[in-house]
Amino acid sequence: MRAGDAEFVRDQATDAMRRVASYRVDADPGGGLRYSVEYERPDSYHSSSIYDYPGARSNEGLFVGNKRYLGSCDAGRGGCDWVGPSRREYLLDVGGEASPAVLPQWPVVALEMATRLVLSTAGGELRLRGEVNHRRAMAANSDRWVGSIPDEVLQKSFNVDYYDSHPAMIDAVIDPQTHQVKSITVTADYVSTPEPLVSGFHIVFTYSKFNEITIEAPE
């Protein structure tokens, strides 16, 4: 493989993801929590989170333009009790908490920002591995789509300076035909320091349903 092939494949993938009209991302961050986010351009999202135990109801967040709806849904029956619309917050919700980690574009932005990329074509698939400050990727994505994260939050809650020198590993699988991202895994070391506490991070994001999703406000 020629020098620069990894960056070329990365640019093809991030460009392909910018051009799709909609997609879904599923993630399992651990602790029994599973969540998914569906996205439709230009600014509609449907987030769903549920804890993995019998009888659990999923927490739903629906953002259509500048309108925000919250719902509690019966996973077995599919019925939702919606509250809204209200003025949209600048971050999506998961488990009742605002988090830029829920925005489905940020792992793709992390791939865009990644350095020391290595390309593998084993098994007929395209795979990119590299390093990235995943917290800065979350912030950069938030800047692009929903609003800036305050500097004090970046330093105190995101520990962005720490991850500049202790970057996460990123592992992306890319469809060789469409160049769309199939999955992105982000792993940061489990490291604690006296101040602040630096938590670990390992999560696989799986992308699907490209150009198949329509998001509408509840009736």
pTM of the model: 0.82
Residue 63: domain span: 5-208
Q: Are strands 115-120 and 57-64 parallel, antiparallel or unpaired?
A: unpaired
CATH of the domain at 12: 2.50.20.20
User: What CA–CA distance (Å, rounded) separates 203 from 185?
Assistant: 6
Q: Are 209 and 40 in contact (CB under 8 A)?
A: no
Residue 132 lies in a domain: yes
Residue 79 lies inside a defined structural domain of this protein = yes
Distance between CA atoms of residues 189 and 43, nearest Å: 33
Residue 107 lies in a domain: yes
Q: Report the pLDDT value the prediction gives residue 29, as an integer from 0 to 100.
A: 75
| pLDDT value, residue 149 | 65
Q: Evaluate whether residue 218 is within a structural domain.
A: no
114 belongs to a structural domain = yes
What is the C-alpha separation between 64 and 85, in angstroms, rounded?
Answer: 9
Q: Give φ, ψ of 33 to 5 degrees.
A: -95, 130
Q: What is the DSSP letter of 91?
A: S
Note the Cα 26 to chain centre separation in Å.
Answer: 9
Domain assignment present for residue 75? The answer is yes
Bridge-based pairing of strands 57-64 and 67-74 is: antiparallel
The pLDDT of residue 94:
41
> Is 216 contained in some domain?
no
- Give the position of tokens 């590299």: 130
Instruction: Mark 27-46 as b/e (b = at least 16 C-beta within 10 Å).
Output: bebeeeebbbbbbbeeebbb
Q: What is the pLDDT of residue 184?
A: 96
Each of the 219 residues of the chain gets a pLDDT tens digit; together they read 554 699 999 999 999 999 999 999 998 777 777 788 899 988 888 888 777 766 666 778 888 877 778 777 765 555 677 777 765 554 444 444 444 445 678 899 999 999 999 999 988 889 999 999 988 888 888 777 666 666 666 666 667 778 888 899 999 999 999 999 999 999 987 554 545 555 567 889 999 999 999 988 877
Domain assignment present for 217: no
What pLDDT was estimated at residue 190? 56
When divided into structural domains, the chain yields a total of 1
Q: Give how far the C-alpha of residue 89 lies from the chain's centroid of Cα atoms, to the nearest Å.
A: 17
